[in-house]
Each structure stands twice: as C-alpha cells, then as structure tokens.
Amino acid sequence: MTVIEARGLRKTFGTTVAVDGINLHVDEGHILGLIGPNGAGKSTALNAILGLTQYQGELRVLGREPWTERELLMRDVCFIADVAVLPRWLRVSQALDYVEGVHSRFDRAKAESFLAKTDIKPTSKVRELSKGMVTQLHLALVMAIDARLLVLDEPTLGLDILYRKQFYDSLLNDYFDRSRTILVTTHQVDELQHVLTDLMFINRGRIVLACTMEEFESRYLEVAVLPDKLAAARALKPIHERQVLGRSILLFDGVDRQQLAALGDVRTPTIADLFVAVMGNPASQSQAHAQGATR
Amino acid sequence: MSTPPNAMPPQSTLHAQPPAPRAIPPTQVFLWSVRRELWEYRSIYIAPLIVAALIIFGFLISTVHLPSKMRAAMALGPMQQQEFIEKPYDFAALLLMGTTFLVAIFYSLDALYGERRDRSILFWKSLPVSDVTTVLSKASIPIVVLPLLTFVITFATQWIMLLINSAVLIANGMSVAPLWSHLTLVHTFFMIFYHLLAIHGLWYAPIYAWLLLVSAWARRAPFLWAALPPLVIGVLEKIAFNSSHFVSLLGSSVAGPDEPTSTAGQMSMDALTQPAPSHFLLSPHLWLGLATAAIFLAIAIRLRRNREPI
C-alpha cells in the first residue's frame, strides 16, 4: 500500500528552488531516512508532505492532497518537527487532555504508561522539563496516536546520546510495525543505520541517491587498501577515496566483494561515509542520481 | 484511493487492537481549543479578578467615611441621593469593562503571533484541528468569552460591594432602606449584560478581528502594525481631502453606537442606562462592522494556513 506518492514535486521561494521536481514513492511498513546537507530541501519536502506549505506537482499522502486536506490527513499522520515546538506554558496533563479531546486515535493510557517510565510528572510544565524530557513527552504523545505515517524532522537535535538511543529504541520496539511508516530526516545519520529500511540522499532540491538498506549493504563496500594494491584498486573506479592514518580508504559501488578482499580489509561503509562520497563528488552525484531516478 | 477516515487498515497481530476511534464532533474540538486558549492566556480571567479584588479593597477602605457621608447625602434630594449611592457601583462596572477591553486587545494581538514566535504552531498543526476552528476559537475569546466572564465578575463584585455597604450601615445603626431602594441592581445587571454582549461582543468585533489578522500576518511588532495603517489612512485622508471621515468612523467604532440621546464619549454610561436594542440592531454601522469582522477573520484563517514559525 502506497503511503507517499510524489511526481515532479517542486517548491520555489522567489528565485530559490528548494525542491526541484522530485519523485518519491514510499510504501507502507518502511522507515525511510531522508538525508541531506543544510538547505538541501528536506524540510521543505516534509512541509509539503504534511500540508504545511503549498507546492507544484503531484503529491498524495495516504491518498489525500496534503495542502487542501491537512485537517483530515492529520488523523492518520503524526509529526515531530523539531524538539522545540511544544509550547512552554503547557502542562503535561493539559497536553494529554487536549490531544485526547481533539484526536480520535489517541490512546491516553498508552501515553501515560510511556510517561510513567520517564521522570516526567503530570503536573510539570514544558518549560520545567529538560530538552530530552520534552522530546520524550512529544514522543509519548505521538506514539499513543494510532497513526499510519510518522514524520520526524531532526527529532533528536540537541539531545545527548542516551536520549537519542532511547528515542530510536522506543520507536522501534514500542511503535513501529509493518502497518506503519516512518519518514525521518537527521544529521546524526550513523545512529539511524540499523533503524532504516530505506535511504534517500537529497541535495539542492533533488534526490541524488535512493536505495533500500539491503541494496546499500550489497552495493557499497569500503576497502582499506594495502599500499602496494592502490593502483589496482583505483582501476576498479572507486567513487570516493580518503586518507585515514596514512591508509587509503576507497569506496566502491557495485564491485564484487571477493575481488575487493584481495586488495585489503573490506567492510560495509557507514551512511556518513557514503554521504560524504556522494555529496563531495559531483561526478558520482550525477551518476547516483541517474540510478536513483530509475527506481 | 480515498480511504474514509474511520476505515482501519488490518492491524499487525504483534500489537493489540487499539480502541475503535471515537468520532469527535466539531463542537468538542472547538471547545477544547477555547479551553486551550484559557490555559495559555491566564490573564483572560486573572486580570479582571485582580481588578475586582482591588475595587473591593478600595471600597472597603472608603467605608470608613461612609456613615458621615451617608448622613450628608440623606439631606439632599432623591436624585443626588441616587447618584451618590450608585456612583461606586457604576465606577466598578466601568473599570472592569475597561480592563476587559485592554485584555481583549492584548490577547487578540498575541493570539496568532505568539504561536509562531514560540514555534508551537507546528505542534498545533500536527493535530487534526483545522485553521478555521483554531482562528474562530481564538476570535471567540474577545467576542464571547471575555464579555460573559466580565459580566459574571462584575455581578459578583457589585453584590459583594452591596453586602459590605449594608453591613457598614447596619453596624452604625443606620437604615439600609435608601441603599436598597436607590440601587436597582437587578435592572443594572441587565444593562451591563446587554452592554457587554452588544458593545464588547458585537460592536468591537471588527476591532478584534483586525487585531487577529495583524497577529496572523506580522513577523514582528504586531502592535505597531495594528496601529500604523489606521493612522496612515487617517493622516492621508486629512492631507488629501482635508476631511476626517475615517478617523470619526474609527472613533465611533471604539466609542460605541450613537444612541439617540448621547454623543460619542459619553457612550458607556448612557448606553447602560438607556439601552436601545432595536436602534442598535438596526444600525447599519453594526452590520457593516460585523461584515468587516467576517472578512478580517477569513483573511486571518488564510494567513494562518500559510504561516510558518518566525
């Protein structure tokens, strides 16, 4: 079942093109990571998907047009846009009351049982909570809503590593199942590596890479090349080369693992490694884009 | 594909079946949104309550001289007697109404601006509440909630004053008869109720709607943006046509409808003592004002839909 379908999605601010005609297809039960540098158009694309901004092109989220049907769409879609959006004057109990009052799919008991596992008191105001606790509260509210699409825009920005880990653990263990879909953008990509099922790089408003995590693991390999094998390795056309402690690390796209094992230690690159390779290399960028577009 | 909102996809067996979604009537969403405003802007009820407390406190102090003054007033004619007795009660009502008007102005200016400034608009927009519901619930605070609240507080304040007044007179061995006969509180309460609903609710609606519009639009300094255009139009009109129709229009918008017996400025108490509901309801100014308010609110709704945090 299709959750998000975009064709030629485009958004301009004056002469600046924020989203430059992207095609997107997300099926139910996937966790898609949308990764890109600052100003790449991630948030604009998410805003269009959430009905917060007007756009050109075709876009359907759960079969609805987000801009004209935001209110209806929000019955099935949740989002955490940034950690700072819960109003500071709000009490925890008021937040529960209000969401219960306006949202037909909110299960208050579920939110309360999640909050019981934290240090958050029902009488606390948001302004009295630490940044990590505010995110926990927001997550408790969102996880208690039986939504079909959850959109997370930099959900763990500014949190320490314990909260970040807890955040994704809760999401995976207590929330995610095959009938739900999660779309997440973040700069802390490495923590997401084992969370995602799908990966998408976006730059200057265009999708420059799109693959499933299985494809990612089979397609991309990184080799710490032995000094005397460097010329042979370079002949296999690595998409990126970097130096770490005097050794050359070469990143290959679609080269056989056996063949690479002869050149040095082979490992699966991190998303960050691939991100640097794709974003820092204009030639491979257009190549990856061509492959991404064929999906 | 168009899935009706209540149609559920088959759930994974790993998770327990969630409770069937309750259908939430739009009125409930609206009432929760109004309640939300009262949580956020507690000054809506705290400010008039503080003023009421101050009025009662001041009145309590003034009762020190009450017996002697009352004796002096008894020597006067019935008209002066009535004036002397009613004065503090009218003053209390006026003060509370003035407070409400100020609270309403500051509320309206911040209602759609504050949520963008603290970025909470993104949270509110993540819930299935339409911009129409949100803006109308915010507009209902100055137009409906504040007048009703002020009525209740004024009612209570005047009764407490009357009880204090009576207690002091009895303690001094004086008759409370002149007090109770001159003070037609029941009549006055109807007047205050009418005044609050008619003037503070309906007549001022375009002012509040304009402030809400500016509050939805301004990136900074909504107060300035709200005050500037009327000022500029007034000055331009004066320079270009040497007339001041716009200013007098604004003046009557704030001062209230022209009652047959009153002039602008004296409005408050005259409207209180001599209400003319038919005259008021037939006034074209009222209906033009309400139409303007509706247009301003429609623009505010459109603006909120487009607006992002600032």
* Percent of chain B whose pLDDT exceeds 70: 86
Contact flag B24-A72 (C-beta cutoff 8 Å):
no
* CA separation for the pair B97, B103 (Å, rounded): 10
pLDDT in the model for residue B205: 93
Extents of the domains making up chain A: 2-204, 215-294
User: Which three-class secondary structure state does DSSP give residue A124?
Assistant: coil
Q: Which candidate, B267, B268, B265, B266, places its Cα nearest to that of B97?
A: B268
The token duo for B298 is 């429609």
Pairing state of beta strands A240-244 and A264-267?
unpaired
Q: Report CB contact under 8 Å: B12, A148.
A: no
Is the pLDDT at A92 greater than 80, yes or no? Answer: yes
Mean pLDDT calculated for residue range B11-40: 75
Pick from A28, A102, A179: CB nearest B24:
A102
C-alpha distance from B142 to closest chain A C-alpha (Å): 21
Residue with token string 């939110």: A111
Nearest-Cα residue of chain B relative to residue A72: B128
Contact B3 A104 (CB under 8 A): no
Q: Note whether B9 contacts A148, CB cutoff 8 Å.
A: yes
Spatial separation of the C-alpha atoms in residues A230 and B151, rounded to whole Å = 86
Q: Is the CB of residue A31 less than 8 Å from the CB of residue A198?
A: yes
Sheet order of strands, A247-253 included: A240-244, A247-253, A220-225, A264-267
Tokens of B7: 């149609």
Residues 6+ away with beta carbon under 8 Å from A100? A106, A108
Read off the pLDDT of each residue in B290-300 and give the average, rounded to a whole number.
95
Is the pLDDT at A24 greater than 70? The verdict is: yes
Q: Which CATH superfamily is domain A2-204 in?
A: P-loop containing nucleotide triphosphate hydrolases (3.40.50.300)
Confidence label for B21 from pLDDT (cuts 50, 70 and 90):
low
CB of B46 less than 8 A from some CB of A: no
Q: Give the pLDDT mean for A252-272.
A: 88
ipTM confidence? 0.86
Of the two residues A248 and B269, the one the predictor is more confident about is: A248
- A-B C-beta contacts closer than 8 Å: 108
Torsion from C-alpha of B131, B133, B134, B135, nearest 10 degrees: 80
Residue of B nearest to A105 (CA): B21
Distances (CA, A) of A238 to A213, A219, B201: 20, 12, 73
Report chain B's mean pLDDT, rounded to a whole number: 82
Yes or no, beta carbons of B39 and A146 under 8 Å apart:
no
Compare A120 and B256 and report the one with higher pLDDT: A120
**Closest to A89 (Cβ–Cβ): which among B3, B19, B40?**
B40
Cβ atoms of residues B213 and B206 within 8 Å:
no
Residues forming beta bridges with residue A241, ordered by sequence position: A250
User: Which of A5, A64, A98 best probes binding to B when mutated, by most B CB atoms within 10 angstroms?
Assistant: A98
Q: With contact defined as beta carbons under 8 Å apart, do B99 and B48 qualify? A: yes
Q: Do B18 and A105 touch (CB under 8 A)?
A: yes
How many other C-beta atoms are found inside a 10 Å radius of the C-beta of residue A194?
9
Q: Considering only the C-alpha atoms of chain A, give the largest distance between any 2 of them, rounded to a whole number of Å.
A: 69
- For position A188, what pLDDT does the model report? 82
Choose the weakest-confidence range: B93-97, B178-182, B208-212: B178-182
For residue A25, give every residue at least 6 positions away whose Cβ sits within 8 Å of its Cβ, in sequence order, or none: A2, A4, A5, A6, A295
Question: In this complex, is the C-beta atom of B159 within 8 Å of any C-beta atom belonging to chain A?
Answer: no
Supply the pLDDT for residue B130: 93
Specify the amino acid at residue B42: R
User: How do residues B46-80 score in pLDDT, each as one tens digit?
Assistant: 999 999 999 999 999 888 887 788 778 777 777 77
Cα four-point dihedral sign A233, A235, A236, A237 = positive
CB contact under 8 A, A102 and B29: yes
CB B128 to CB A102 under 8 A? yes
Does the pLDDT of residue A201 top 60, yes or no? Answer: yes
Res B262 pLDDT > 60: no
A104 and B21 in contact by Cβ < 8 A? Answer: yes
**Per-residue pLDDT averaged across B37-53, rounded?**
95
User: For B128, which of A85, A103, A148 is closest by C-beta distance?
Assistant: A103
The pTM for the full model equals 0.84
CA dist., res. A64 & res. A174, Å (int): 27
| Mean pLDDT lowest among A72-86, A251-265, B105-119, B268-282 | B268-282
Of B12, B123, B126, which has the smallest distance from its Cβ to A179's Cβ? Answer: B12
Task: Provide the 8-state DSSP code for B144.
Answer: I
Find the range with the poorest average confidence among B71-85, B142-156, B228-242.
Answer: B71-85
B260 lies within 8 A of chain A by CB: no
* pLDDT greater than 80 at residue B6: no
| Mean predicted lDDT score pLDDT of chain A | 87
Residue A51 has pLDDT above 70, yes or no: yes
Of B23, B28, B129, the CB nearest to A71: B129
Element (DSSP H or E) covering residue B22: none
Which pLDDT value is given to residue B65?
80
Which of chain A's residues have a Cβ under 8 Å away from the Cβ of B123?
A: 81, 85-87, 138
Across the range B184-212, mean pLDDT stands at 84
